[in-house]
Amino acid sequence: MATLQELLTANPTPGEHPSWPHVSADDALWHDLAEQLQQGAVTLLGLWGENRQSGGVVRVAVVDEAQRTGAVVIHDCPGGQYPALSKSHPPAMRLERTVHDLFGLLPIGLPDTRPWLDHGMWPVRHPLGGQTPSPALAVPYPFLGAQGEGLHQIPVGPVHAGVIEPGHFRFTAGGETVVRLEERLGYTHKGMEGLMIGADIGHAAKLAGRVSGDSTVAYTLAFANAVESVHDATVPARAVWLRGLMAELERLANHFGDIGAICNDAAFALMHAHCSVLRERVLRTAMTCFGHRLMMDRIIPGGVSNDLVADGEVALKDLLTEIRHVFPALVELYDNTASLQDRTVGTGIVDPALARQYGCGGFIGRASGRRFDTRRVLPYPPYDDLRFEIPVLTDGDVNARVWIRIREVEQSLSLIDQILERLPPGPVHADLSQARAGEAMALVEGFRGDILVWVSLDEHGRIRRCHLRDPSWFQWPLLEAAIDGNIVADFPLCNKSFNCSYSGHDL
């Protein structure tokens, strides 16, 4: 079995792909790739389709974490078919089901042939492919069963209490103990990849920033990095450092929100209140510094749209001082509240082997021993010039996921300090108005984990095709495993400790 580097050397695809080489695969090479995925030699980062008159293609992004190299492997689909990777590598299954829903490309040997994003409510089937008329009536979705005496099913959602995105969860339980959880997602499908087609890069950047609003900085940064790679553009140094500043502010706001919300689901409202105050302080500081609480549309291809305001550094330093004064006491409160620890310790465990198999990123993966952070493994500016640690635990429970967030808060504070110390003067945007055709991929570390954006530009500089992959694609399946053997009442706590994105997943 060839290594990834050997595949890159022996099977190059014409064209310039300096950061993410592209490889054309025949069936033999595709089989080698499947073996590498199955054995854990490489990690699956994404799988997406593309419609062509010849029958279409599928693309698979993989990374060799040990060698810190990655590639995009391309397989033609004559007759609209290709060999399913999910036969031997289950993490590919939902992605392959989605490719079939959107493009009509059929993975031969797919173990689960049910639709995934297509709920039978679209006017056409395969909207990015053949666009055949949809059946008049939606086909019922058959949930998987479970055998055992006294088992019963509990349907939850898709509409939930409170302000929360829709998703359906089908529990099979014996008494209060969960023996199977199956998710049904796709309710927030927006047709994002279809909306991207034909858009200019400015409008497409705005669409990218709305895939999952809580990660708008990370998504627009990934999109901008990919477009800039096509243009071979040099982003002004000040803009690069401002992008890092925004990314860490976004990480802080979301981690504070998550820590408080997890404690709230364990009926410890005091932590929720204090963490909500800290989150609000971060958002207000972002508004002061960049003119938007979420910093939406502030990162654009070529740089940033808004420079830091004149008194922005003072506001940021005041924020860091306040957090460092308040947060340690909250960490101590969390750690010393026995009733809270009773709920979080040992609950919702993700096995480290499962986290590795699924390439699970972010705080979920790092709480289960997977030491992967794009900022370190596949570094991009400004993180390739910053000092920071990657916190890792192996317990894999709700408590570990809280502690990873706590440690990442501490690292983000240090990163913001470094950025403010080294923030250079100068312009904040480079001109990308000259049309440039080509394709490129970028990977960025959002607060949930690695976000992938692959973009292809036509000769007019418009979007020919753009694929955006949220880290939740490889995290949602692990929630089903984490709740197994726990009681039904602990599901909200497990779910909140994951905090996967519905919107980011559903595209």
Same domain, 478 and 337: yes
What are the residues whose beta carbons fall under 8 Å from the beta carbon of 136, sequence distance 6 or more?
Answer: none
The boundaries of the domain holding residue 285 are 192-506
Same-domain pairing of 230 and 103? no
User: For residue 31, what is the domain's CATH number?
Assistant: 3.30.460.80
Q: Is pLDDT of 185 > 90?
A: yes
Domain boundary among 85, 103, 133: 133
Domain shared by 362 and 224, yes or no? yes
Beta-strand pair 450-457/438-445: antiparallel
Q: Which of 84, 114, 133 is the last residue of a domain?
A: 133
Query: How confident is the model over 489-498, as pLDDT tens digits?
Result: 999 999 999 9
Q: Are residues 238 and 104 part of one domain?
A: no
Helices (H), 112-169: none
207 and 333, same domain (yes or no): yes
Q: Is residue 185 part of a domain?
A: no
Residue pLDDT, tens place only, 439-452: 999 999 999 999 99
What are the tens digits of pLDDT across the range 230-289? 999 999 999 999 999 999 999 999 999 999 999 999 999 999 999 999 999 999 999 999
Q: Rounded to 10 degrees, what is the CA torsion of 473, 81, 69, 476?
A: 10
Q: In this model, does residue 14 exceed pLDDT 50?
A: no
Give per-residue pLDDT as tens, 301-340. 999 999 999 999 999 999 999 999 999 999 999 999 999 9
103 lies in the same domain as 196: no
Domain count along the chain:
2
